[in-house]
A and B are shown apart, each in its own frame.
Chain A
Amino acid sequence: MEIPRLSRRRFLGLTAAAGVAAVLGVPLLKKGASLAQERPKARYALIIDTTKCTGCGACIEACRLRNHLPEGVSYIHRIVKGNHRNPWFLMIQCQHCANPPCATVCPTNATYRREDGVVLLDERLCVGCKYCMQACPYQARVYDEERGVADKCWLCLPWVLGGGLPACVEACIPGARLFGRADDPQSEVAQLIASGRAKPLHPEFGTDPSILFYVIEEE
Chain B
Amino acid sequence: MQTAWGWLPAIYLFLGGMGAGALLVAAAFEFYGKRYQYEFCPTALVGATVPGPLVILGTILLIFDLGAGLREPWRIFYMFTHFSSVMTWGVWLLTLFIPVSLIYGFLEILDAFPAARQWLRTRRWLRWTAFLWNLPLRRTKRVFAGIGSVLAVGVAIYTGILLSAVGPAIPFWSTRVLPFIPIPMMPVLFLVSALSTGLVLTVDLAATLAIGPMEQRVKSLPWIHMAFIGVKTLLLGMLLITALVNGGSAAQSAREIIAGTHAVVFWVLIVLPGFIFPFVVHAYAAGLGRHSLVFGVGSGVGIVVAGLFLRYLILVSGIPAAL
Contacts and interface: CB of A to CB of B under 8 A. Distances in A.
B4 A130 contact: yes
B67 A108 contact: no
B83 A139 contact: no
Interface in A79-136: 79, 90, 92, 101, 104-110, 123, 125-131, 133-136
Interface stretch (A49-57, A167-175, A181-189, A198-206): A198-206
Interface residues of A, number: 47
Contacts of A150: 67
A11 B126 CA distance: 26
Given A108-B79, A143-B4, A143-B67, A129 B169 contact: no
Q: Which of B83, B86, B169, B170 has the most CB of A within 10 A?
A: B169
A123 B72 CA distance: 12
B165 interface: yes
A104 B84 contact: yes
B83 A129 contact: no
Interface in A120-163: 123, 125-131, 133-139, 143-145, 147-150
Contact of B82 (A79, A107, A204): A107
A147 B84 contact: no
Q: Which of A104, A201, A206 has the most CB of B within 10 A?
A: A104
B320 A139 contact: yes
A107 B79 contact: yes
A137 B4 contact: no
B134 to A, nearest CB: 8
B170 A28 contact: no
Contact of A206 (B165, B168, B318): B168
B292 interface: no
Given A101-B169, A109-B78, A135-B169, A149 B68 contact: yes
A36 interface: yes
Nearest to B170: A134
A134 B84 contact: no
Given A6-B135, A107-B79, A107-B82, 13 more contacts: A3-B135, A7-B136, A104-B85, A126-B67, A127-B66, A127-B75, A131-B87, A137-B167, A148-B67, A148-B70, A149-B67, A149-B68, A205-B168
Interface in B85-102: 85-88, 91
A1 interface: no
Nearest to B82: A109
A85 B88 CA distance: 48
A205 B4 CA distance: 21
Given A90-B323, A135-B169, A139-B320, A148 B66 contact: yes
A130 B85 CA distance: 13
A108 B72 CA distance: 14
A202 B67 contact: no
Contacts of A28: 81, 83
Contacts of A135: 165-167, 169
A29 interface: yes
Interface string A1-28: 0110011000000000000000001001
Contacts of B69: 127-129, 148
* 9 closest residue pairs by CB, A with B: A128-B67, A148-B67, A127-B69, A108-B78, A148-B68, A107-B87, A130-B4, A137-B169, A109-B82
Q: Which of B78, B87, B139 has the most CB of A within 10 A?
A: B78
Contact of A128 (B68, B82, B318): B68
